[in-house]
Amino acid sequence: MAEQDARRLVALLSSDDRRLETRWVEVVTSTLGGRMSRAEIERELSEFYRALEAALRSGDTDPHGDAFAEVRALLNELSRNRARQGFTPSETAVSVFAIKQALEPDLVKSSDPQAILDYLGLSQLLDALGMFTVEAYARAREEIISAQSEQLLELSTPVVKLWEGVIAVPLVGTLDSARTMVVMEKMLQALIDTGSEQAIIDITGVPAVDTQVAQHLLKTVVAARLMGAECTISGIRPQIAQTIVALGIEFGDIVTKATLADALRHALGRSVGDTSPLTARRR
Amino acid sequence: MSPESAAGTTVTVAIGAAGDVVLARQSARNLALDCGLSLIDQTKLVTAVSELARNTLIHGGGGGMRASIVRDGVRRGVSAVFEDSGPGIADLDLAMTDGWTSGTGLGLGLSGSRRLVDSFEIDTVPGRGTSVAIVKWAR
Amino acid sequence: MSLRVPVLRIGDSLLVSIQTDLDDGSVLVLQEDLAARVVEDGATGVVIDISAVEIVDSFVGRMLATIAAISRMLDAETVVVGMRPAVAITLVELGLTLGGVRTALTLEKGLKVLDDARDQRPQGLPDDPELR
């Protein structure tokens, strides 16, 4: 679009701008149903309005260009705030699209065909900005969800100290690769934090194990050994044992026990015999 | 398929002496921190960088590393490219299946380094040189 | 930029704490220093503390294995202590073993490992009149 188009759009926006802005604020306020104060909305939209005008005054109409950097930054912030407050994508994008609604009364009254072209031009621009808003909103939501699942992961993977020198990690539920890795890292760190030399990974509460998870468990045991500790896996049910064998995964000399109790007994046996060759085993 | 570099984040490290391997590691670590990589991912990335930088120095006769933060849609990561004009690798398949021993031995550590990163591309021409490009994404 | 890593004596063992990134020069110096001290002090154990080490690549791995091999030849056992979880996980992924080097979680446990190994050595001469 040419520079004159940009100037006409500015004219469109700034003609009788108090009225336009007021209408715009009204549309947005009514959509948000009282969850945001009018004063807040006014402040937000007025900032955006000024930035939009300024960008158009520079003669550029490309929403992705440098002239619109401030507009994009403002929309980004607006989207993030809405996302955090729990508004829907529509409620967020309406802030942009509402300008069109605000302009419509004037358009209907006008008999100038140029006015329609100008409106269409502005509409295109606003559509692009609206899409940008939705994308920024989506990114913000993803970040929030990801932070929440991290917190959930933290809460659901406790490492317990069973005895002096023995910690246990009871795994419950379906294990996926990502979760297993997090749990294993926590366990290794717990060995250091508690000064324990033995860890028991209990998978009684795990219905199924796939290759990746089995390999993660294996790697964790090897890592624990490298650090100077020892690991036992307990709670392997018949189906899981079959799956592991069928997958061709070698557990080598890693000790596995049917129950957590057996594993604890075994671990304590190792600890008591502190001078046993096992603790001084070469890596 | 190549991700775009985030402007202003490229670091170039000439690898000509042992101390440069340390520099390469530090640069990679700084980028990893900026990128928000987890501690484990940082460690894996920097270890891979250490291996590859050392390869460039010892087997490639010196060269350089170019590292930067890259984007691929929503995610961010660290990319590092190692280049040398050394002898190249004659049998790439063999080098890539190089088993690790802690003894002496050629141990290019390529297969190991590959497991530490998310993407690993190697280009080598015997007699002309080698180039290895790795990327580790933040999760 | 070669740093000389200090070697300390604890009982019958020598302790080396690796703090920073070592370059090739420092590694060679360390290996020599340790070998000399093992002989000088009649040490029967070597503890290498890597709790401050954030990155263990194949170079460092080989150094640890080499120190252990040299020490063994000089009749001393080596134990590596304080490996960080991130390092352990990365070593496993790299497929790098430390080639028979013992490990322990802490300095204290490491010293105990060495004590136990020492206790298992045959003490003194066999009771044979011919050898007196």
Domain boundaries along the sequence of chain B: 4-137
Name the domain count of chain C: 1
> Rounded to whole angstroms, how far apart are CA atoms B71 and B59?
31
Instruction: Assess whether pLDDT exceeds 60 at residue C103.
Output: yes
| Tens-digit pLDDT profile for residues A152-166 | 776 667 799 999 999
Q: Is the minimum CB–CB distance between C48 and chain A shorter than 8 Å?
A: no
pLDDT for C44 beyond 90? yes
Q: What are phi and psi of A194, to 5 degrees?
A: -100, -5
Interchain CB distance below 8 Å, A223 and C102: no
What domains can you pick out in chain A, each with its CATH number? 3-150 (1.10.490), 160-282 (3.30.750.24)
Are the CB atoms for A42 and A25 separated by under 8 Å?
Answer: yes
- The predicted model gives B14-34 an average pLDDT of 93
Contacts of A163 (CB under 8 A, 6+ apart): A264, A267, A268, A271
CATH number at residue C75: 3.30.750.24
A 10 A CB-CB count for A200 gives 26
Give the chain C residue whose CA is nearest to the CA of B108: C58
User: Which of B44, B47, B49 best tests the C interface by mutation, with the highest count of C CBs <10 A?
Assistant: B47
The whole domain housing C60 covers 7-119+125-129
Does residue C60 fall inside a structural domain? Answer: yes
Q: Given an 8 Å threshold on Cβ–Cβ distance, is C81 in contact with A283?
A: no
Q: Confirm whether C81 is domain-assigned.
A: yes
A212-266 residue pLDDT tens: 888 888 899 999 999 999 999 999 888 888 888 888 888 888 889 989 999 999 9
Q: Which residues of A touch C98 (CB under 8 A)?
A: 226, 283
Q: Is the pLDDT of residue C82 over 90?
A: yes
- Mutation pick from A189, A226, A231, A270 vs chain C, by most beta carbons of C within 10 Å, is A226
Contact call for C62 and B111, based on CB within 8 A: no
Kindly state the tokens that stand for A258.
């049917």
Flag whether the ipTM exceeds 0.95.
Answer: no
Decide if C54 is inside a domain. yes
CATH of B4-137 given 3.40.1050.10, 1.10.10.10, 3.30.565.10, 3.40.50.11890: 3.30.565.10
C19 in contact with chain B, both atoms CB, cutoff 8 A: no
* Chain B residues touching A154 at Cβ < 8 A: none
- Answer whether residue C2 is part of any domain: no
